Structures are given as C-alpha cells and as structure tokens.
Amino acid sequence: MIKKARKILNDYFGYDSFKEGQERTISSILNGKDTFTIMPTGGGKSLCYQIPALILEGTGLVISPLISLMKDQVDSLNSVGISASFINSSLSRKELENRIYRAKNGEFKLLYLAPERLKSPVFLRLLKGLNISMLAVDEAHCVSHWGHDFRPSYRLIASMIEKLPNRPIMTAFTATATEEVKNDVVKLLKLRDPDIFITGFDRENLFLSVLKGENEKDFILEYLKNKRDESGIIYAGTRKNVDSICKLLQDKGYKAGRYHAGLSTAERKKTQNDFTYDEIEIIVATNAFGMGIDKSNIRYVIHYNMPQSIEAYYQEAGRAGRDGEASDCILLYGPGDVQLHKFLIEENSSSTDLKKMRYEKLQAMEDYCHTTGCLRKFILEYFGERNIPELCNNCSNCNLNHEIKDITIEAQKIFSCIYRMKERYGVSLVSQVLKGSKRKKVRQLGLEKLSTYGIMQGYTLKEIKDMCKSLIAEAYLYLSGGKYPVVKLGERAISVLKDEKKVFQKVWKAKEEPVEDNELFELLKARRKEIATKENLPPYIIFHDSTLQEMSKYIPEDKEAMMNIKGMGEIKFDKYGLQFLELIQEYLAKNREKAPEY
C-alpha cells in the first residue's frame, strides 16, 4: 500500500518523495495501528492523514480546532479533485443537512469536524451511520490541561469513539509537545499501544531573533521597509496594542488588518480572508489568531510582546515559512511583558499545581529571551531533544557579527552579593544593592551595610538586571518560582566564585537584510493571483511560493521540465501548468539571455 501512497503523493500533491517521518506515519496507519506523530509545523502533518484516508475504505474523520483551517484544507483537496468537506458552525441549517446527507451516502473521503460538534446527540447519531476508516486528531496538544492551548471539547473525543459500532484507527498530530503533554495525549485519547513518531522540532529555515531595548514601533517600521509585498504576522499581547500598531501601519501605507476577540465576527472573518487571499500583507493580532493557519508564504512573524510559554511562542512563530523558504521569527522583549503574564496567571489559574506549572513555563520563556547561547538549541532542548550543536548559524545569537566579552568580574560581584543577601531576595532588589540604590526598602532591610553595596554603580540598573537574567538563563543562577521568585546560586556560580571558571557574554550588531529583485518571480505571483481570484481560492492553494521560486530559478520551457518543479504534479499541471508555462515562454521571448543552459 505504500507504493499507492507514493503515487498519490506525486499525482495529487506534486512531490516525488516523502519528508522525514511522513512515510513511517502513513505506513503505521495503513497497517491499522493507532499512531501519534509529533512533527514540526511545515513538516507535512496533513498529508500523513489525508493520504491514508484516500487509500482506506470509508471516510476519514479529521477533528480540527479552527474553521479557517478546515476551509483551507478542504479547498486545497477539492482543487485537485479529492472529495472532502467540513461540518462546523459556519454552515447554514440547509447546507448542514445537505452535507450530512452526502456524508451518509459516502460521498466524502475526508470529513473535517469541529470538536464542539461532539456535544450534539444528533451529530453522534450521524457518526454511527458512517463507515469511518480512521480518525485524525489535529493539534492534539489541545486535549492536555498542561498544554498551551487546552480545549475542553477535545476531552469528548475518547467517549465519542467508544460509542461507535466499530472503533476506527486513531491518529493524533501536533507540532509542540513536552513529555507531560505527550503522555496526556496518549492517555486522554485512549490510544491503544500506539506507534509514536517524533521527527524533531527543528525548523531550519526559520531565523530566530530576540531583541531587547528596542523602540518596538520604530523597529517594525524599519524592518518592514525591505518587506513590501511579503506576508507577515505581528503578534501583540493586548487589543490596545493591536489597534495602535495596525493604525500606524495603515497610516504608513501598508495593507494591514487587525484581529482580536474584541472585534465583530464579521470583521475578524474579513481580515482573515483578506490575509489568506493576499488582499492585505500584514495581520496584527492577539493570540486569538492563528492556530492551524495553513497559509504557506508567511515570511515573518514578529512578537511585539513576549508570549507566556515556549510552546505558545514556537507555535505562533512556526506560522512563518511553512513552504520551507527562509523566514524570520523576531521577538521584541520588554520586561513589562513578564509582569503582565504574572498578573494573568494570578487571575486565571484555578489550582496551585496549574499556577506553579504556568510560572515555570513563564520562567523558561524569560530565560529564552536572556540566553546568550544558541536560541534554536534552547528551544530544542526544552522539547527534550539532546546532542544539539552549540551553534546553529541561523539565529541572532549565532549568526550576527558579535564579540565575546569577559564578564567574570561582574558575575563574581553578582554572585557574591546574592550570597551575602542569604539568597532571600529577587533580581530587582539584588540589582538595587549592587547599584547602590538609596531606596527605602534597601535601607529598611539594612542592605546598604553589605560589602557588595554599590560595587556596580558604574552600570545602569537595567544593565545589572539584564546581566542577572542572562546568568539565570545560562544556569549560573536559578529562581525559586512563584509570583515573587527568589534568586539563588547554581552549581556553576560556585566554580566562578572559586576562580575555576570564566563567564563570557556576546555583544552583537544588527543583521542587515539583502534586498532581492526577481522579475520573473513577481510575474508568476501576479499570474497566480489572477487565477486565484477567478477561482475564489487563496493563492497558495494554486501553488506555494516555493514552487514559483523554483520556476523562476530553473525557468522550465516545456511540460517535461515543468514536471521537475517541486509541487507540480500531473493534476496541478493539467489544471494550472499551461498558464504558467505560457507566461514563462513570453518572458523568455523578451529575455532570451536568461534562458537556462542545457
């Protein structure tokens, strides 16, 4: 059956071979095994359940958390002749009844469902009448209370399966899962002796950056100068910030839209559609936007505020570069972000264990912002990967021009101060003592009498705090946790105090982005836009940017050459290929010197 899977991959989706993890996952499903796959965003998770559903007898059900994701995937499948549909709250009663009738008659090979539908007894009766070959749970981390996007309706899936006359093959997929979440998924979905495949969390095409001390709005405007006509997402922590950033961009002539829970359903839907169909370049949003967004040509994701956890950050940042092309993930860190998240933890945590877990995740996120080591290594180790190279050469800590500064003396002063303060206080008070602050609390506690009082008065308070936080991120120091964490000495700090080890810090300059000009690529994009508008489809469903870039690089002059382009299968060529081939031939007639050499 795997040979049949490879043929479907080529004919319908235009790829010659599977990506890492896809073939193992598909083989497991076709062999009737429950399967749980953790695969990075852009790794091709959807093909892992779409292809088996086309081969197995019956209908494949897909539980998906967002209406927009369902529509995107169904549109994409229908565009290549695969019978698929979705059932969710966006449908009228008449359309809902029509799709249910067609589903009962076995018209769909894939049927996408919102998890909330499982609350309906009427809908459960429908499912009992279907020949369900397999069930795929997308964004499976949503089932876990310890995950970053818990959805109570996901807990209904296991009980729904038990009510079916025949248990289908169960599959689950996610891009981000710690060990806790992974165990929860297996347990709560009641997977039976599942094959578990972890293909890694790395997204090599993403350039990761953390910038501190920037004027955020000035940075965004400067960055976007070289990003005209490219799609991007800017995440902000509050609705107020979303509104002000969006207005700023619109006033500067950018095609930008906003998205947050305070807007009407109609405005949110219009903004998302405009972004999907390339009518606007930039969407400014809270974290209410994005999970499951399948738009492949997002070239950058900027976080105006720090997210609450590594899982949330990597999920949101991972919306960039789903087509495998180079893309930027930029986090603009401000210390006020931490205080906002602490307030939200106190307001929204229902149990002591949950509050403790959220504080730990917040501390890991803050450590990421302050580490001087490789950002990619930090994230991969957080998700449990080991033996990661020290340098990735594709993050702001590895790949910028920087110099190494010896801060051993400063570190010893900080460690000594913490020791003399008996490891009972937080970073702010330690920094004030080192600075020689005359604040009332310092005097009330008698801390001005310490020998370390004022020994770093040549630094600003912010510089001392940042140095402390970098030392925490590098495990020289650690925090006790909770709302008011206390800073303590780690084992690495003792070696430094004994002059057995030195401490170094990177000081770097900003990265300069080259500006590229590709005339043919722009012409191909324009042709894609014309076709997409005519067919009322998002442009990336016609062809991904990566496919157009290969066309502009290799300049195929006939069908044989065109079929070697990534993403160009027989069905895609029959439907769209000639229109692009004609454009390329017109381009070469005017620019014969650019024709490829054979």
Residues 362 and 408 in one domain: no
Nearest to 358 by CA among 338, 376, 378, 373: 338
Same domain for 348 and 215? yes
Evaluate whether residue 143 is within a structural domain: yes
Which among 349, 368, 401 is the end of a domain? Answer: 401
Determine, yes or no, domain membership for 514. Answer: no
CATH of the domain at 424: 1.10.10.10
pLDDT at residue number 598: 43
Do the beta carbons of residue 175 and residue 147 sit within 8 Å?
Answer: no
Cα–Cα separations (whole angstroms), residue 337 to 16, 212, 304, 333, 485: 45, 12, 10, 8, 16
CA distance linking residue 287 with residue 317, whole number of Å: 11
Strands 477-479 and 487-489: antiparallel
**Residue 528 belongs to a domain with what CATH number?**
1.10.150.80
Residues 119, 190 within the same domain? yes
Helices (H), 277-426: 310-317, 336-348, 352-370, 375-382, 408-420
Are 393 and 410 contained in the same domain?
no
Q: Is residue 420 part of a domain?
A: yes
222 and 331 inside one domain: yes
Q: At a CB cut-off of 8 Å and minimum separation 6, what does 367 contact?
A: 378, 469, 472, 473
pLDDT score, position 516: 42
Residues 384 and 525 in one domain: no
- pLDDT at site 196: 94
Number of domains making up the chain: 4
CA–CA gap between residue 299 and residue 241 (Å, rounded): 22
Determine if the pTM surpasses 0.85: no
Asked whether residue 442 falls in the same domain as residue 546, the answer is no
Residues 375 and 397 in one domain: yes
Pick from 203, 209, 135: which is nearest to 172 by CA? 135
Q: Is residue 188 part of a domain?
A: yes
Residue 140 and residue 246 share a domain: no
pLDDT tens-digit profile, the chain (598 residues): 889 999 999 999 888 889 889 999 999 999 999 999 998 877 788 999 999 999 999 999 999 877 767 888 898 899 889 999 998 877 888 888 888 888 888 899 999 998 888 888 877 887 888 889 999 999 898 898 766 667 888 999 998 898 888 999 999 999 878 888 899 999 999 999 999 999 888 899 999 999 876 778 988 998 998 888 899 999 998 999 999 999 999 999 999 999 998 999 889 889 988 998 899 999 999 987 865 567 888 999 999 999 999 988 998 998 999 888 899 999 998 767 887 888 888 887 667 888 888 888 999 999 999 888 899 999 999 988 888 998 898 998 887 656 678 899 999 999 999 999 999 999 999 999 999 999 999 999 999 999 999 999 999 998 898 889 889 877 799 888 677 889 999 888 999 998 988 988 766 544 444 334 478 999 999 999 999 999 888 898 899 888 898 898 889 888 888 888 888 888 888 999 999 999 998 888 887 666 655 4
Last residue of a domain, one of 454, 488, 508: 508
One domain for residues 373 and 416? no
Which of residues 508, 534, 562 is at a domain's end? 508
Residue 392 domain flag: yes
CATH number at residue 245: 3.40.50.300
Whether 513 is covered by a domain: the verdict is no
For residue 412, give the nearest of 494, 338, 341, 357 by alpha carbon. 494
Per the structure, the complete domain to which residue 416 belongs is given by 403-508
Determine the Cα–Cα distance for residues 430 and 421; give it in Å rounded to an integer: 8
Instruction: Identify whether 305 is part of a domain.
Output: yes
Same domain, 483 and 533: no
Phi/psi at 385 (nearest 5 deg)? -80, 150
In a domain, 577, yes or no: yes
Report d(CA 417, CA 426) in Å as an integer. Answer: 12
Pairing of the two strands 132-137 and 256-259: unpaired
Q: How far apart are CA 259 and CA 265, in angstroms?
A: 10
Q: 395 with 417, same domain? A: no
